[in-house]
Structure formats: structure tokens, C-alpha cells
Amino acid sequence: MKSMRMIAVIVAALAMSGLMAGVARAGVSAEAGGYLSGSFPTGDWGEVAGFGLGLENATTVYPDSTKSFGIRQGSSLIYSFGHNVDVPSENLDANTALHTETANTSLWFGVGPAFRKHTGDMRPFLYGTIGVAFNWIDSHLKGDVQGAKYDATVGQTSTTFAWTAGAGLSKAMPSLPGGRLELSAEYRSGVNQNYLLPGEVTSSGSNVSWDRSHHNADQIIVRVGILTGD
């Protein structure tokens, strides 16, 4: 119970911290949200990365509070849990078995246009952003090579361009600290991330070769959180 209360406090603090000073101007409104998020990797990234959990915040400023158009900025910190994948046996010599172990911590920032229904209890919205993702990939290639233990660090820290496209729905809930509940989903792509796929590993006798290539780090983000502001 204490841990759930702590999570609620953190989410509320994220929502409040994002509220921008620009709302003081006449006709300008803003919404700020704090979220718990889940990350579901897809594409090449889905082959090696595991499910992730994170905290996010976002602020959307509407230059004219009677219009749908706004500017959204967001950030997130997500940890993707370790995931093990076997190297294809056809890539390896007899008496050799290897697998990759990959976990990741990512920090993301983005900004872009947003559109919403600005009246009513139920308010659908959509948005897109461009920004940057910082990744700390903890990846190892492990196993047995001709009867000998093998362990190589193949992860890398990198900074990449990232884009997102998302949509969601917010609902008025006066009992919540911010007054509104939001459910949303987003496709997020980190372009040209450098990480190792199991299929990029080969062996010949006691020699192991691998080529860490560039791939997109694509994921689907699902989030729930509270909003404050107009």
C-alpha cells in the first residue's frame, strides 16, 4: 500500500512539474501530465529487448484556448528488462552455443504539434514529436565455445534522433489530484541505434565474430496518468 501511494505521489509531481508559465498570458492554456508507461519493443528491437516500465511527463501549450492546436513537449525514463535470445545454431560450429542478454535504460525528449477536442468530459487528442533518445544498452554475448565459457560485452551507449506519433483520450475525474485521467498510446522510433542481433554472430572453431550494426529501436508505448490544467 505504501508503494502504491508513493507511485501516486510521483505521478502527481510529474504532472504538476510540467505546467508551464506561459499560461499566464490571456487566451493561452496548458495541460501537464504525469504517467506510468509500459514499453513493448517491436521490429529488430523487439528481437532482443524485453518489456519496459517507465515514468513520463508531457506538457501541451495551446496558444488559443478556444482552438484545437497546441505544442506538446514530453520526456521519459524507461528501463527495458533483460531478455535472452539464442544465436541461430546454423551460425555456429558444433560444440558451440551462444545467446545474447540485453537490457536497456533510455532517456527521451521530444517536441511537436498536438490537436485535441478542447471541450467536454471526454477529450480525444493526437500528436507527433521529434527529439532525441539517450540509450544505455547493457548487452552481453554469452555461452560455450568449444567447451570453454565465453562472455563478451557487446552493448553501447548512444544518442540518436527519435520521432513519435501518438493518440489518446482524457476524461474528467474530479476525484483525482489533477482532475483528469488520460489513457494514451504512442509509436516511438529511435533511428539508427547500434545494437547486436543474434543473427549477426558467427563462429569458426574457437573464434567468435560479431558485427554490431545500426537498427531502429522501435517500441509501442502505452501509458496511464493524470492531467492538470485546462
Whole-number pLDDT of residue 20:
47
Task: State how many domains the chain has.
Answer: 1
Give the tens place of pLDDT for each residue, 27-72: 788 899 999 999 999 999 999 999 999 999 999 999 988 889 999 9
- For the record, the C-alpha cell of 73 comes out as 513537449
How much of the chain is helix, strand and coil, in % rounded to 5? 15, 65, 20
Q: Is the pLDDT of residue 81 over 60?
A: yes
For the chain, the average pLDDT equals: 87
CATH number, domain containing residue 93? 2.40.160
Tell me the pTM. Answer: 0.83
For residue 68, the enclosing domain spans 2-229
The alpha carbon of residue 41 and the mean position of all alpha carbons in its chain are separated, in whole angstroms, by 9
Between vectors from CA 192 to CA 190 and to CA 195, what angle results, nearest 5°?
Answer: 95
Which pLDDT score is estimated for 206? 87
Q: Which residues contact 8 (CB under 8 A, 6 or more apart)?
A: 177
What pLDDT is recorded for position 25? 56
